[in-house]
Amino acid sequence: MGETPVRIGILGCASIARKVSRAISLSANATVFAIGSRSVEKAQKYVSANAFIPPSVKLYGSYEAVIDDPEVDAVYVPLPTSLHLRWAVLAAEKRKHVLLEKPVALNAAEFDRIVSACEANGFKLSSDAQAYTDPDAGGSRMEGFIHSTFTFTADPEFLKNDIRAKPDLDALGALGDVGWYCARAILWAVDYELPKTVTAIKGTVFNEAGVILSCGASLLWEDGKVATFHCSFLSNTTMNITATGTVGTLHVDDFVIPCVETSSSFLTSTKTGFSELDTEWKPLPSEHVVTNELPQEALMVKEFARLVKGIKEGSLKAESKWPVYSRKTQLVLDRVIESIERGYESVEVVD
């Protein structure tokens, strides 16, 4: 590239930050420029343990210091969801671009305050969950029915002490963590049209602190499309989506984290019928393999850095589709919570 990479500051040394730090280092147009933790020692330890972070990285003993660094172009926020509002707004006020971990916020109202702060300062918000491969299943979006499941079996320690099980940290629990991806994938499949109603599915599991460990919902659109999803910390790793419309079906078994990093695959069927006597499919489903030039996280960082650079140079505007997509995802999750609270009643999605 030869050009100056976008300088990213990271707020905190959460384990999720390692994955994105590596992705930044793999993305030629971005660099891990600064890391802030509760102490410089903690930040130093994190750098020593992760060889992919450049030795030139600046270390700070606070998150504020990263945000205050005038050379930092953008910050990545891997903090618990309950801290997103505070740090994303502060970063925006200090004229930094923001890459937030999902879920973006605890609810759509908080989401809007974050976006307002970013927009007021002419900056960009992105959320990490945009790194979908975008398979073109025959050129048309799916109508009809969509189902997505994202689960993993958390150990007992996680279920009690992980930030995703704490009501004061990632209060949305499994819904905000794995459920975010299900809702987002479903919205992707319908070209981000919001459903008319959301109805939680009976059987939500909470931990002792009242955080959701497992839940699901059905979504209904104005034109009759239906979707269901299930998300859980209590069942073996499963991350699939099936979308079926009048003429075709798409199925992906690993839509969030690919089974292998260098490629991902999906199945499509188009106008499927049967052989004589209905004993075989005709035509058979097709498997499509996408080879990844870079891991998906690095592709996301590359795109984020491209946008940040464009805004910095005046060739791009701050507005983009990502906040719109993330906000719709947040609205769906809000309604799932509301439906659970109302005893599984259907609730209208009003934007």
| Region binding a copy of itself by CB under 8 A among candidate stretches 172-180, 248-256, 306-314, 320-328 | 248-256
Q: Please, which residue, 4 or 274, has the CB nearer to a copy of itself? A: 274
DSSP 94: T
Q: Please, which residue, 62 or 238, has the CB nearer to a copy of itself? A: 238
> Does residue number 248 form part of the binding site for a copy of itself (CB under 8 A)?
yes
Q: Please, which residue, 25 or 107, has the CB nearer to a copy of itself? A: 25
Tell me the C-alpha distance between 102 and 332, whole Å: 14
Terminal-residue alpha carbon distance, the chain: 42
* CA dist 139 → 136, 223, 269 (Å): 5, 20, 13
**Binds a copy of itself (CB under 8 A): choice among 277, 289, 313, 315:** 277
Positions 19 through 58 that interact with a copy of itself (CB under 8 A): 19, 22
Tell me the C-alpha distance between 148 and 216, whole Å: 10
> Does residue number 254 form part of the binding site for a copy of itself (CB under 8 A)?
yes
Tell me the C-alpha distance between 249 and 51, whole Å: 43
Q: Please, which residue, 113 or 141, has the CB nearer to a copy of itself? A: 141
Tell me the C-alpha distance between 218 and 206, whole Å: 19
Q: Please, which residue, 144 or 310, has the CB nearer to a copy of itself? A: 144
> Quick check: 234 and 214 in contact, CB under 8 A?
yes
**Binds a copy of itself (CB under 8 A): choice among 232, 326, 329, 330:** 232
Q: Please, which residue, 287 or 319, has the CB nearer to a copy of itself? A: 287
In whole angstroms, the minimum distance from the beta carbon of 283 to a copy of itself comes to 10
> Does residue number 207 form part of the binding site for a copy of itself (CB under 8 A)?
no
- The maximal CA–CA distance of the chain, rounded, in angstroms, is 71
> Does residue number 235 form part of the binding site for a copy of itself (CB under 8 A)?
yes
Q: Please, which residue, 14 or 114, has the CB nearer to a copy of itself? A: 14
Tell me the C-alpha distance between 99 and 232, whole Å: 25
DSSP secondary structure letters along 8-54: EEEE---HHHHHHHHHHHH-TTEEEEEEE-SSHHHHHHHHHH-TTS-
In whole angstroms, the minimum distance from the beta carbon of 116 to a copy of itself comes to 32
Residues 6+ away with beta carbon under 8 Å from 307: 97, 124, 126, 316, 320
- Dihedral sign, CA of 306, 310, 312, 317? negative
In whole angstroms, the minimum distance from the beta carbon of 88 to a copy of itself comes to 23
**Binds a copy of itself (CB under 8 A): choice among 40, 169, 205, 294:** 205
**Nearest alpha carbon to residue 217 among 207, 236, 203:** 203
Pairing type for strands 6-11 and 30-36 reads: parallel
**Binds a copy of itself (CB under 8 A): choice among 62, 197, 207, 265:** 197
> Does residue number 224 form part of the binding site for a copy of itself (CB under 8 A)?
yes
* CA dist 181 → 46, 54, 147 (Å): 28, 31, 12
> Does residue number 247 form part of the binding site for a copy of itself (CB under 8 A)?
yes
| Region binding a copy of itself by CB under 8 A among candidate stretches 66-74, 101-109, 169-177, 278-286 | 278-286
**Binds a copy of itself (CB under 8 A): choice among 44, 62, 207, 242:** 242
> Does residue number 280 form part of the binding site for a copy of itself (CB under 8 A)?
yes
If one counts every other C-beta atom within 10 angstroms of the C-beta of residue 48, the result is 10
Residues that bind a copy of itself (CB under 8 A): 18-19, 22, 143-145, 147, 149, 151-153, 197, 199, 201-203, 205, 214, 216, 218, 220, 224-226, 228, 230, 232, 234-238, 240, 242, 244-249, 251, 253-254, 257-261, 267, 269-275, 277-281, 284-285, 295, 297, 344, 346
